[in-house]
């Protein structure tokens, strides 16, 4: 009887260790896919955002020898070519503010995230990962893809497309002292921050890095933050 108890205890410990070794939050999506743009897919009906890369927006243009060309559509077409005739396999890293699964994906044994950067059709999205910086460096030095042209970084292009801030809302919010607003019982505790890449992002209490975030402005509601030109911070599960 003692032997069986000890054996069961050892088995339980081993099982727990093996369970902890497995990724608990990983979501797997696989199947036929279509390219929505240069860094997003629809796989088996699920919207996917490729992790760690940032491609030109679909409507974005680049300029080569003074002539504009639609590099956003070209990036989309190159991603479509990579997945043509192959099932796509994605491992999720979390969900973004648009309810898309943020994932590393492959097709035909080729990782799509790195390949798009290596071919010069996307940039390494340093705000979220440095994994694809070496691939970007090589593409830039060889003048591949959009690196053969003059272009606006996709994050800067998106920022330029945002509607201008609502002046009345910004002035009212900015009039609240930061320290008082951060601890205000009135609920105006949403932090608006402009990062070093010029992106305007807001953080809700309880989000990762909320306490470390330096607030440029404080908001009472998400609607106020969005009206002022901010987007919600991405939370990785």
Check residue 110 and give its pLDDT.
96
H or E stretch covering 88: strand 88-95
DSSP codes, 95-159: E-TTSPEEEEEEETTEEHHHHHHHTTSSEE-TTT-STTHHHHHHHHHTT-GGGGSB---HHHHHH
Check residue 41 and give its pLDDT.
97
Check residue 215 and give its pLDDT.
81
Check residue 233 and give its pLDDT.
81
pLDDT higher than 90, residue 39: yes
Calculate what percentage of the chain has a pLDDT beyond 70.
78
Of residues 134 and 3, more confidence is placed in 134
Band (237; pLDDT cuts 50, 70, 90): low
Band (102; pLDDT cuts 50, 70, 90): very high
Summarised one tens digit per residue, pLDDT across range 151-199 is 999 999 998 888 876 654 444 444 444 433 344 445 688 888 887 667 7
Report helix, strand or coil for 210.
coil
pLDDT higher than 90, residue 52: yes
Lowest-confidence segment of 2-6, 89-93, 144-148 by average pLDDT: 2-6
Each domain of the chain, given as residue ranges in start order, spans 28-151, 162-232
According to CATH, what is the number of the domain 28-151?
A: 2.40.50.90
Q: How far apart are CA 193 and CA 210, in angstroms?
A: 10
pTM: 0.62
pLDDT higher than 50, residue 234: yes
Question: Which residue do the tokens 């955002």 mark?
Answer: 49
């Amino acid at each position: 009887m003692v032997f069986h108890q000890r054996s069961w205890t050892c088995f339980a410990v081993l099982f727990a260790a093996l369970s902890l070794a497995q990724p608990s939050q990983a979501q797997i999506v696989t199947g036929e896919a279509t390219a929505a743009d240069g860094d997003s897919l629809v796989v088996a009906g699920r919207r996917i955002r490729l992790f760690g890369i940032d491609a030109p927006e679909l409507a974005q243009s680049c300029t080569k020898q003074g002539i504009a060309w639609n590099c956003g559509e070209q990036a989309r077409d190159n991603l479509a070519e990579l997945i043509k005739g192959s099932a796509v396999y994605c491992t999720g890293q979390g969900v973004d503010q648009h309810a898309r699964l943020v994932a590393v994906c492959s097709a035909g044994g080729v990782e799509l995230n790195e390949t798009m950067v290596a071919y010069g059709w996307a940039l390494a999205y340093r705000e979220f990962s440095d994994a694809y910086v070496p691939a970007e460096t090589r593409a830039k030095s060889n003048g591949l893809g959009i690196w053969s042209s003059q272009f606006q970084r996709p994050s800067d292009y998106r920022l330029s497309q945002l509607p201008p801030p609502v002046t009345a809302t910004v002035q009212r919010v900015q009039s609240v002292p930061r320290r008082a607003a951060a601890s205000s019982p009135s609920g105006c505790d949403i932090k608006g921050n402009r990062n070093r890449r010029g992106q305007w992002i807001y953080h809700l209490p309880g989000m990762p890095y909320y306490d470390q975030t330096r607030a440029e402005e404080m908001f009472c509601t998400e609607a106020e933050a969005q009206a002022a030109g901010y987007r919600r911070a991405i939370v990785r599960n």
